């Protein structure tokens, strides 16, 4: 009888702890075939909520083939999280890993990998389309080594 009682108490405590963390994954889509405009300053905020603000920062980088069309962005349904780094002559890969909601924050986790020197400059970036339901939440960045 004591074993059942302690088992039930243990399970109740574990369930309470799990529900208190209030963490959930947020689905997103990575937008492809855009570039950061050279005359635009680096964004001061990752969050972009209108087509006009987006167009002031980014241009379409259309290429031949089915995979060359820029990802469509509907600001009525989504907003954008854009991470843009300064131009560099070092091979740099910026990779989003996860987006989670924890309490009243979105936590964006990504990785930065630097490689060899290049003979040209590049501007590492990614653009994520996130459901508009999360638009009013603050953003926290976490970089994973």
Q: Comparing C-alpha atoms, which of 77, 80, 20 is closest to residue 49?
A: 80
Region 116-139: mean pLDDT is 97
36/121 Cα distance (integer angstroms): 13
Contacts of 33 (CB under 8 A, 6+ apart): 60, 61, 62, 63, 68, 69, 70, 71
Its pTM stands at 0.82
Rounded to a whole number of angstroms, the CA Rg of the chain reads 20
Place of tokens 């986790």: 109
Does the pLDDT value for residue 15 go beyond 70?
no
Tell me the average pLDDT across 29-39: 95
């Amino acid at each position: 009888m004591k074993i059942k009682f302690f088992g039930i108490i243990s399970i109740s405590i574990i369930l309470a702890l799990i529900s208190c963390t209030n963490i959930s994954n947020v689905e997103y889509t990575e937008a492809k075939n855009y570039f950061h405009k050279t005359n635009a300053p680096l964004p001061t905020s990752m969050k972009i909520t209108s087509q006009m603000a987006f167009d002031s920062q980014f241009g379409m980088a259309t290429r031949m083939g089915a995979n060359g069309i820029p990802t469509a962005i509907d600001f009525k349904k989504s907003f954008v999280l854009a991470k843009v780094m300064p131009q560099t002559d070092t091979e740099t890969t910026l990779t989003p890993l996860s987006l989670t909601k924890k309490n009243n924050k979105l936590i964006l986790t990504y990785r930065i990998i630097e490689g060899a020197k290049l003979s040209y400059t590049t501007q590492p970036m990614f653009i994520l389309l996130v459901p508009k339901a999360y638009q009013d939440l603050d953003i926290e960045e976490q970089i994973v080594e």
